[in-house]
Amino acid sequence: MDLKIRDVAELLSVSQTTIRRWLAEGKIPAYRLHRQYRFSRIEIEDWVMRQRLGAGKATGTPFGHDDKEQEHSGQQQFSFYRAVHKGGVLTDVPGTSKEEIIRYTMDQIANKAHFDAEVISELLLDREKLSPTALNNGIAVPHTREFLFKGPSDLITVVYPKVPVDWGALDGKPVHTLFFLFSCDDKRHLHLLAKLAHLSSSDDGLALLQTKPSNQDLLAYIKAWESNLRT
C-alpha cells in the first residue's frame, strides 16, 4: 500500500506543510491518484538515500531542522553508533555476487539477530530486485521492504567483501563496504538510511572504509563523526 502526505510527514518527522512545499518544488517523488498525492514506499526510501543529512531546509532534504524533527534529535544522535555496536563487523566475506554475499552474511548473524537466515535472505534479495540498495562511492545498504527488527535497538552489520562486488550502483563502482540495516521502526529506518547516505559522501569516511577498519576503529570513527552531525 502506498503512502499519503500525512504518512510521509509522520515517517520523515516533518510537517505536512513541509511535504506540500517539497511537492510544489518538485523535490520529492510522488504521483497523483484521484487528484490526491500518493508516494511509493520504495521511491521514498531511495530518495532518502540520495539526501545529505543536515543539509537544511534550503535544499529540501528530509533531515534538516524542521521543528517536529528536533523533538527526535536527542535519541537519534548516536543511533548509527549504537546499531553498528550491536551488529558488528565481518571482514573478507566470500562471494562474487549479491546472492552469495547476502546469504553468507545472514548465516553469520542469524543467531545474534534471532531471525531465520533463509527467510531474511529472500527478503533482502526481493528488495534488490525492486531497486538496488547501492549508494555511490562503493557503499551499499542492503535492507528489506517488509521486515522490522524485533529488539530494543536497531542493528547494522558492516560487511567488507573479500573482493569488491557489483551492486548496481548508479556511478558504476563496485561495492567495498555494505551496511546491512535492520530497524525497529520505520522512522528510525529512514533516519539511518539518511545517515548512511551522508557517510557515503564523506571523503574521510570513505578513505577509512577502504582500509577495512576493525570493529573498534570503525566505532571510534562513527562516534566522532556522528557527534558532529546536525540531526
Looking at residue 78, the DSSP 8-state letter turns out to be: T
Based on the residue annotation, tell me whether 114 is a catalytic residue of this protein.
Answer: no
Q: Can you spell out the DSSP letters for 109-133?
A: HHHHHTS-HHHHHHHHHHHHHHS--
CATH tag for 74-227 (out of 3.10.310.30, 3.40.50.1440, 3.90.1150.10, 3.40.930.10): 3.40.930.10
Cα(28)–Cα(60) distance, integer angstroms: 8
pLDDT value of residue 53: 45
Q: Which of 34, 85, 143, 189 is catalytic?
A: 143
C-alpha cell at 107: 548465516
The model's pLDDT over 7-39, given as tens digits with 9 standing for 90+, comes to 888 888 788 999 999 999 999 999 988 888 999
Is the confidence at residue 54, as pLDDT, over 70? no
Name the pTM for this structure.
Answer: 0.82
- Lowest mean per-residue pLDDT among 78-82, 149-153, 162-166: 149-153
Measured at the CA of 163, the angle between CA 162 and CA 167, to 5 degrees, comes to 115
* Domain boundaries along the sequence of the chain: 5-69, 74-227
pLDDT average, residue stretch 139-143: 95
36 beta partners: 33
Distance of CA 113 to CAs 45, 88, 147, 182, 184, Å? 23, 11, 12, 9, 12
pLDDT average, residue stretch 52-56: 46
